[in-house]
Structure 1
Amino acid sequence: MTARTHALLARSCALLLAGGLLVTLSPTPAAAVPDYTTAESGNPFVDGWYADPDTAYYGGRYWVFPTTSKAYAEQTYLDAFSSPDLIHWTKHPKVLSTADVSWAEYAVWAPAPVERNGKYYLYFAANDIQNDAQLGGIGVAVSDRPEGPYKDALGKPLVSRFHNGAQPIDQDVFIDDDGQAYMYYGGWHHANVVKLNPDMTSLGTFPDGTTYKEITPENYTEGSFMFKRNGRYYFMWSEGGWTGPDYSVSYAMSESPTGPFRKIDKVLAQDPAVARGSGHNSVVNVPGTDIWYIVYHRRPLGETDGNHRQLAYDRLHFNADGTIRRVEMRVRDNFADGNALGWKPYGGTWSAADGRYRAGHSLGGKALLDTDFADLTYDADVTPQGPGGDAGVTFRVTRPAVGTDSYSGYYAGIGTDGKVVLGRADGRWTPLASRSLPIAPGSTHRLRVTAVGTSIKVYVDDLTTPKISVTDATYTSGATGVRVFGTAASFDNVAVWPAR
C-alpha cells in the first residue's frame, strides 16, 4: 500500500484503500511524525549512485526503489531502501535482478512499487528498446514481501510496443479511491495512461474500447508520476535532458485520473548553489497528515559523469488553492543518521557518531559540502575540545586541498582561548577580526555567519547582534564546510541557505 495512492481523509485517522478494501490505520504518534523542512540528516540520504526514485509506505516503513545509476550494460539489478522515520535507512540489495527476468538483459529502470491483495508488485522497464522489433519494455515482478526477492510475473513484458509515440519506460502505478489501478508511463516526449486489471498483471480498456490513452502535457520528456490530494489528481513529469542542467520537474492538476493534464508550473529545477540536473521524482505523504515530500535524484555540482546521481528529498508545500509551491533545496545535516554523506574531508580525521560530526586534533583539517553559495546564512553548533586552538566554519571556499591554509576562502572559528576569529586563507592566513568571549573547552556554541556581498558578520549564541562585522571583497562564492585548527571538535545542526 503506497502513500501516494491515497488522499488525506482525516488527520486523526488515515483510511486507505488497498485492493478494493478499506483499511484503517492508527494515527501516527505525534512524536514519530517526520515533520522536516528537508532531509534533516543531509542529502543525499543514502549512499551510492542512484536515480529515478519511487516511493511506497508499507507496514510503518517508508520505502524507496531507485534505478541503479550505472552504464546501461551494468544496470542489471535494483536495490531498495527502507526507513521508519525518513532518517535511518536500511539497504535491501538486489530486490530484483535480470537473473529473475528471462527477457531483461540490461537498462533496468525506474521501479514502481505498489501493494495489493497481500502481494507486492514492482513495475520496471528494461532493455531501452528503440523500436517495436526489439524485445523489452515495461515488466512487472511480484513478491510476498516488500524487500523481495521479486520474480517476473509474466515471463514477458506487460507493455512491449510503442503506442502513441511513447517509449515504454518510466512507469508509475496509482490506485484510485474506487480501487481502479492505473499505470502512467512514457519516454520520447509522449505519455500514456493505461488501466490495470485487479490482477495487476494485465491491462484493461477504457469506455471507448481503447487500451492506451495519450495524456502528453506541455514539455513532457519522461518520468511520469501521479498522486492524489484532497480529491485532485496531480500528474508530474520530467523535462529536459537527463544529463543536462535543464533536467527538471513540472506538474499539472486535473479532476480526473486520465486528464486532461495542462502544465501549471515547473516545481523542481537545479539550484546552482546546491545541485544540478534535478528530476525524475516521486512524492510521499506521511500517513494521517498533510505532510508531503518530493523524492528525486540530482547531480552534485562537482560531478560531470552523467550517471553520478544521488537521491534527495525536500518538503513539498501546497498553496491554499491546491497548487504546488516551487521546491527549495535546503542544505542541512544534524548527523542523526550516523553518517556524513556528502561531506568531503581534506586532512584530519573525521567521523559521524552520536548525532555529531567529529574531527580529531589537527592543524587545519577541514570537510566540505559540494555547494557554491555566494550570499548566505550559515549556522552550525560548534564544540571545540581544546585546550587551545579553534574550530568553526568555512565558506566561499574554492581550490581546497590538504594543508593548514590550503584553500581560498573564509573561516570563522571559536577558540577555547576566549576568542572568536574571522580570516581568509589562500595558502596563508590573513586575519580580518577577532573578539574576546568567555568560551570553555567542551562547551557548545551556536555559530552563525552571514555573508552578503562584501559584508561579513559573525554571531555566537546571540543571533541578533554580531560579534564581528567586517567588509571584505576577496571571495564572492564557493563551498561551505567545517574546520579545526589545533584542537579536536564536534559539529551539529548544520544549515546553509541563501541570504535574502
Structure 2
Amino acid sequence: MTARTTGLAVKCCAAMLAGGLLTTLSPSAALAAPGIPDHTTAEAGNPFVDGWYADPDIAVYDGAYWVFPTTSRPYDEQTHLDAFSSTDLVHWTKHSNVLTKASISWARRAMWAPAPIERNGKYYLYFAANDIQNDSQLGGIGVAVADRPEGPYEDAIGRPLISQFHNGAQPIDQDVFIDDDGQAYMYYGGWGHANVVKLNPDMTSLGTFADGSTFKEITPADYVEGPQMFKRGGKYYLMWSEGGWTGPDYSVSYAVSDSPTGPFEKLDKVLAQDPAVAKGSGHNSVVNVPGTDIWYIFYHRRPLGETDGNHRQLAYDRMYFRPDGTIRRIEMKVRDNFADGNALGWKTYGGTWAAAGGRYRAGRSLGGKALLDTNFADFTYDADVTPAAGRGDAGLVFRASRPGTGVDRYSGYYAGIGGDGTVVLGRADDSWTPLGSARVSVTPGTSHRLRVTAVGPSLKVYVDDLMTPKISVTDDTYRSGANGVRVFDTAASFDNVAVSPAS
C-alpha cells in the first residue's frame, strides 16, 4: 500500500488485502488495531453530515476518507459539488464547491454522482451534467482533475467524455474502478441500462475491448441506475439501485462475477427502506478500511417525515460478508453517541439542547424533548441518562406522535429516572397518565443505563440492571411512533442512544 491511498485502494487493492494478505494476519491485528475505524454503523448518528445530499461516492486519500455527493436540489440548482473528509468516520470537514459549473464550459445544470479516484498524483472527479434526454442535447459524463483531493477541480478535456446514449444507457451515474493489473474501468448508466468502458492510462479517454468495441452492456436484472464496482477475494462485486429515486422503493442489489465485465447475475437486494428508520435508501458506494476486512456502505436515504424527493441525507452502515463471500442484508441501525459534537437527526420541542463533550445536554425545563424521525413498534431502546440533583426526572420518549412544545404535548409513552431515585413510566396525550413507578439507587450527576423494551402491549423499564425490569406493565394505547429523550423539571444529559428492533 503506497502512502497515498486512492480510490483504487478503496475499491480494489485493499480488497486484495482482504482476500490475500489478511490471511497472514490474526483477526485482532486485522480488525482491532488502534486508530482503525471499527464501527457497527455511524455510531455518532446518521445522517453523518448536515444538508440535503445524495449519491455519495467515497475514496481514501492519504489516510483520510473523502465523500463526494450530489447536492440534492432541483436540477437547475445542481450547479456545484461539495465534498466531506474525515480521518475517523466520525468527525467530518466540509469542502464547499470543489467543482462548479463555472469550471465546466458545457455544464449548465444537473451535476450528479461524482466519482473520485487518484492516479499518478492527480485527483480525478467524474461527474454527469445536464441530464440529457437524447443524443442531440449537449451533456453527459465529464471528467475534472485537480492536484489535491479538495480541488479546485477543472475540466480535463473541455467536453463530455461520454456524450451520447449507447446500448440504451443514459450517460449518468458513473463509477470508476482500477483493477489489480492497472486497467481502469468506468461503469455507468441510467434509464435501466448499464455499460462498462475501459479508461486509458491518461484517465481522460476511452479504450477498446479485445473485440474492438468501446461500450459493453452489462445490465443485470432489475437494474435502474447507480452502478458501483469493488473487488474482494478475487471476485468482482457490482452493486446498483432499483426503483424510483423519489419513492420509498429505492433500494440496492448486487451481483458477483469472476470478470470485471461480467456476466452479472443478480443475487440479492441488500439495502432497502426500513419503515421504522428511513425510506428511499439507495445509490451507494462502499469503502474498505485499508489493511482490514472492515467494509462500510455509504448511501443516501430520506427521513420518514419528508415528502420532498430532494430531501435526502447521507448515511453509512457496516457491510458484512458471509463465509461464501455473499453480502448480508444491511441493517440501518439507529445509534448516537454524540462524539461528533452535533445532534443531526434530532428535532427539539421546548427546552434548551446542545451536543457537547460527547453528550446531548438538556437544560432544566418542564417537558422539553428531542425526537428522532423514527417509527418503531416493537423495540429495545437504550440510553445513558445523567439526571441532575433535586426533583424532576429525565428519560426516554417512545411510540410518540403529534409532538409539540409543552409539558405533555405529544401522544406516546415516557420512562424517566430522577435524581431522588424515582423511576416513572406513563402515557401522555396533552395530559399525563401514570402507568408505574419504582425506586432505585441514583447518584445525581452519575450516568445510569436506562432501557425500555416494548413488544406489543408489554412495556418494561430497566435501570442499570438490564436483566430485571424495575417496571413492567401492559398498555396498548400506542402501537408505534418516534423515539426521543425528555426532561421534566430537571437538567440532564444523554449518551449512547441505541434503538433496535425487538429480538
TM-score bracket for the superposition, by shorter chain length: over 0.9
> Which SS does the other structure have where 2:15 is aligned?
coil
What is the CA-CA distance between 1:10 and the residue it aligns to? 4.1
- What TM-score comes out, normalization by structure 2 length? 0.96
Match of 2:187 in 1: 184
Please name the residue that 1:20 is paired with. none
Query: One-letter code of the match for 1:6?
Result: C
Amino acid at match of 2:53: Y
Whether 2:7 is the aligned partner of 1:4: answer no
Q: Which residue of 2 aligns with 1:244?
A: 247
Match of 2:413 in 1: 410
Q: Which residue of 2 aligns with 1:198?
A: 201
Partner of 1:66: 69
How far apart are 1:441 and its partner, in Å?
Answer: 1.4
Q: Is contact 2:420–2:442 with CA below 8 Å preserved after alignment?
A: yes
Does the 8 Å contact 1:161/1:168 carry over to 2?
yes
Distance 2:176 2:115 in 1: 6
3-state DSSP class of the match of 1:5?
Answer: helix
**Pick from 26, 37, 42: which aligns with 1:39?**
42
1:405 is aligned with what amino acid?
Answer: D
Q: Which runs of 5+ in 2 are unaligned?
A: 1-5, 23-28
Query: Aligned pair 1:220/2:227, yes or no?
Result: no
3-state DSSP of counterpart to 2:34: helix
- 1:316 maps onto 2:319 in alignment: yes
Structure 2 partner of 1:168: 171
CA separation in 2, counterparts of 1:66 and 1:347? 33
Q: How do 1:4-403 residues align onto structure 2 when only pairs under 5 Å count?
A: 4-10=11-17, 30-403=33-406
Q: Any idea what SS the aligned residue of 1:141 has? A: strand
Aligned counterparts of 1:28 and 1:147: Cα–Cα separation in 2? 29
Indicate conservation of the 8 Å contact 1:423/1:429, yes or no. Answer: yes
Residues 317, 28 of structure 1: alpha-carbon distance in 2 compared, 3 angstrom cutoff: closer
Q: 1:132 to 1:328 in 2, by over 3 A?
A: same
- One-letter amino acid matched to 1:387: G
* Cα distance in structure 2, aligned partners of 1:243 and 1:359: 36
Q: What is the identity, as a one-letter code, of the residue corresponding to 1:273?
A: A
The structural deviation recorded for 1:418 is 1.5
Residues 1:443 and 2:446 are matched in the alignment: yes
Q: Over aligned residue pairs, what C-alpha RMSD do you find?
A: 1.4
Distance 1:11 1:210, change over 3 A: closer
Q: CA deviation at 1:238?
A: 0.2
What secondary structure is seen at the aligned counterpart in 1 of 2:76? helix
1-structure distance, mates of 2:19, 2:125:
30
**1:331/1:27 CA distance change after superposition, 3 Å:** closer
Q: Number of aligned pairs?
A: 490
Letter in 2 for 1:479: A
Seen in structure 2, the aligned counterparts of structure 1 residues 108 and 12 have a Cα distance that, compared at 3 Å, is closer
Task: Give SS of 1:30's match.
Answer: coil
Whole-Å separation in 2 of the counterparts to 1:194 and 1:5: 17
Q: Which string of whole-angstrom CA distances, capped at 9 and with x for unpartnered residues, describes residues 212-269 of structure 1?
A: 0000000000001000001000000000000011100000000000000000000000
2:26 aligns with none
User: Offset at 1:11?
Assistant: 6.9
Task: Please state how far the C-alpha of 1:386 moved relative to its aligned partner.
Answer: 2.5
* 1:14 to partner: Cα distance: 7.1
Q: CA deviation at 1:29?
A: 7.9
**1:439: how far off?**
1.1
Q: Determine the C-alpha separation between the residues in 2 that align with 1:52 and 1:14.
A: 31
Is contact 1:362–1:486 with CA below 8 Å preserved after alignment? yes
1:99 is paired with a residue whose SS is helix
User: What's 1:18 paired with?
Assistant: none
Contact 1:248/1:266 (CA < 8 Å) preserved in 2?
Answer: yes
2:479 corresponds in structure 1 to: 476
Structure-1 residue corresponding to 2:25: none
Confirm or deny: 8 A CA contact 1:12 1:288 kept in the other structure: no
Partner Cα distance (2:352, 2:286) in 1: 37
Shift of residue 202, structure 1, vs aligned partner: 0.1
